[in-house]
Structure 1
Amino acid sequence: MSFDIRKTQVAVEETWHERGPRLTSPLRVGMACAVIRNPFAGRYEKDLLPFMAELRELGTLLSKALIERLEANKVEAYGKGAIVGEDGELEHGALWHEAGGWAMRSVLGEPKAIVPAAKTVGTLGTRLMIPLGHIQAAYVRSHFGTAEMTVWDAPRRDEIVYGLAMATGGRVHERSGGLKAIDIKINDGQR
């Protein structure tokens, strides 16, 4: 590994109802993140692409941690996020777009929809809401959701928190209309 992991965190939230009827099985939303040292903290680096390629390994590690808890065949939504410590730049978080997205698609059997993303520059305990979207089509409203990523003691000034999120379904008791997952066709927001 060419990146220095200080800590990882994996969490799964289960929701049984939202004041409506209780589900027979809960909606499970998982988030996995890693706090790593930012190799570019405090300086400008012109070529970030080699590091982005190395981050695929981190993406695979986090993807597998989520799959282990959620089961690949049950994942219906995903997203990714990054929080860059104050001595870094937003572009260091943007490296996760390709690396994190590639890793999740790889372990999930190459789903077709873009992986929604959020990134920011922050400090200890910064809270980032990672957007979620359906793994096969971007226009499935029922699967627009969020997963919270926060680590109480990260990122330090010279760190980055990279995270991935997956969910086993759409919002509990969704009733906002739009394209249903069972009706997805080519060109419904696919790659």
Structure 2
Amino acid sequence: MSLIKVRKYKLDIEEVFHEGGPVASSPLKIAVASAVVANPYAGRYVKDLMPFMGELRALGTELSNRLVEALGGADAVQAYGKAAIVGEDGELEQGAVWHEAGGWAMREVLGNPKAIVPSAKTIAGPGTRLMIPLGHIQAAYVRSHFGVAEMAVWDGPRRNEILFGLAMATGGRIHARLGGLSAEDVTGEDGLR
């Protein structure tokens, strides 16, 4: 019997044309795919979370595929991030299972990029807004791609649920102009530069 019981999925897409400066010729697209899942360990301590983490890989793949389709294909994706909000009857470690499961799935779907997948997690109730940190998929030092994507579901997570989310973007911040390593100069060998 599966440990993963999805109550609902959500897909949000932003199109950013400007931040007060010139209008971009094509918008930056930022998408968040999320799922509200029953927490199989709500209200109790369970020592071994590995079976849950293993099963969550399939959910990570599902959310990753939804994002890639929404953004026009894997080649369009330049930034990513992940997050989890654990309902009040859970513990933070039950959201931390998403580090491997969600991160692994995104890398797999995107052709195994090198950079670490930025992450956020918390314990909170329905309607909580969590900002998912974004970073360049090949090199963590690409300053222009440090950004955020908002994850929220108005009726979740409930006390016995977890909201898992993945985010992807088609580029860096609109009007990025603070120097550092540019996306065009990434070598993509070590996940940093």
TM-score where L is the length of structure 1: 0.97
Q: Write out per-residue CA displacement over residues 41-63 of structure 1, whole angstroms, 9 at most, x where no aligned residue.
A: 00000000111010000000000
Quote the Cα distance in structure 2 between the aligned partners of 1:12 and 1:188. 27
Distance apart, 1:119 and its partner CA: 0.1
Which digits, 9 at most, give the CA deviation of each residue in 1:123-142, with x for residues without a partner?
01111000000000000000
Q: Which residue of 1 aligns with 2:192?
A: 189
- Does structure 1 residue 29 correspond to structure 2 residue 59? no
Q: Alignment RMSD, CA only?
A: 1.0
Counterpart Cα distance in 2 of 1:152 and 1:66: 20
> What does 1:94-109 align with in structure 2 at a 5 Å threshold?
94-109=96-111
User: Do structure 1's residue 158 and structure 2's residue 145 form an aligned pair?
Assistant: no
Q: Equivalents in 1 of 2:24, 2:39: separation in Å?
A: 42
Distance 1:124 1:34 in 2: 13
Local SS of the residue matching 1:12: strand
Tell me how far apart the structure 2 counterparts of residues 5 and 137 of structure 1 sit (CA, whole Å): 33
For 1:1-191, what aligned pairs fall within 5 Å after superposition? 1-70=2-71, 71-185=73-187, 186-187=189-190, 189=192
**Structure 2 counterpart of 1:57, one-letter code:** A
CA distance in 2, matches of 1:99, 1:81: 11
Separation of aligned partners in 2, 1:50 and 1:107: 22
Tell me the alpha carbon deviations over residues 75-125 of structure 1, each in whole angstroms, 9 at most, x when there is no partner.
Answer: 000000000000000000100000000000000001000000000000011
- Deviation sequence 1:14-55 (CA, Å, 0-9, x none): 001111111111000000000000000000000001110100
**What is the deviation of 1:188?**
5.6
CA contact (8 A) 2:115 2:190 kept: no
